[in-house]
Structure 1
Amino acid sequence: MSADTIVVRPFEQRDIGAVWQLMRDLAVFEGYVDAFAVTPADLLAHGFGPAPAFGVFVAVKGDTIAGIAVHYRIPWTFDLRPVVVLKELFVAEAFRGQCVGNMLFARLEAYAVEIGASALRWTVLPDNEAAKRFYAGQGAAPDAAWEHWTLPIARRI
């Protein structure tokens, strides 16, 4: 494998620091870094073991993690098939324009096919036009049938 080759693979424990940094960089980009509470220890505790709560595909170029696709799965819904939810797709600035996002998205889509998922879903900030163009280029479209709703749950002391 050449140093210029980008490889997409599931994350490993040795990737935790770089994955956490890219997750934090996304929080800065999207404007919620003050609420970002994830720690590297959280990634270790919840991303590994017999029943991980989430997965991460990493795009690696040389020894550097160039991008991440954080995902989880809903075991089944109305059609008795899982749904894959893309929680975060982020490419480090130095690697943008090198098809890293395309490669991560393709690996996530392949994973959805592998597990027999009925859909791949995600949310996009309303003003993130670059992300909307990227996803449209993947063949996706906004879901006209559903609205995104949220009920904040306040922490009680």
Structure 2
Amino acid sequence: MTATPSPARKAVVRPFERRDVGAVLALMRALAVFEGYDDEFRVTEADIVDHGLGPSPRFGVFVAEVDGVIVGIAVHYLIPWTYDLKPVVVLKELYVAEAARGKSVGRALVERLRDHATSIGASAIKWTVLHSNMPAKAFYRSLDGRADDTWELWKLTIDG
């Protein structure tokens, strides 16, 4: 468990548990609103339990608590191996509640994810950022993150 000091309180970062599912869902939904896809958001508490806490979890979540309240999430999953036979950790969603921003909560979440990646021998952590989200880009640069100059994001939409 990683703890990072903030001006008045500490953000404690830990893996999520069943009791955290409602708070995780609320922050996932807040991110959907922020990024503009809330009208397509379909995740339920049952989905989080089934896919994140079931017998074969498909993703993990680190939660950041301040004074016992969950104020941030780092949703991640694993690509088991690629060309170098090492796993890659994908940061799918990083979100900090507006009231907790600027208090090192996001930094604590990413540092905990980095510790996790190191512990499993991952070669990298990868993520996407909205083109227009300049504060996020500045934040990631402050952590030594950088845009990938080799690859660009593509997609194939499946109607169904």
Aligned counterpart, 1:109: 114
Aligned pairs for 1:8-157 within 5 A: 8-155=13-160
Deviation at 1:49? 2.6
Q: TM-score, normalised by structure 1?
A: 0.95
Once the two structures are superposed, residues 1-57 of structure 1 have per-residue CA deviations (whole angstroms, 9 ceiling, x without a partner) of xx9322100000000000000000000000000000101110001001331000000
Moved over 4 A (4+): none
Distance 2:54 2:41 in 1: 24
* RMSD of equivalent CA atoms: 1.3
Q: TM-score, normalised by structure 2?
A: 0.94
Q: What secondary structure is seen at the aligned counterpart in 2 of 1:85?
A: strand
Distance 1:5 1:119 in 2: 27
Distance 1:85 1:5 in 2: 26
Distance 1:20 1:89 in 2: 13
Deviation at 1:61? 1.1
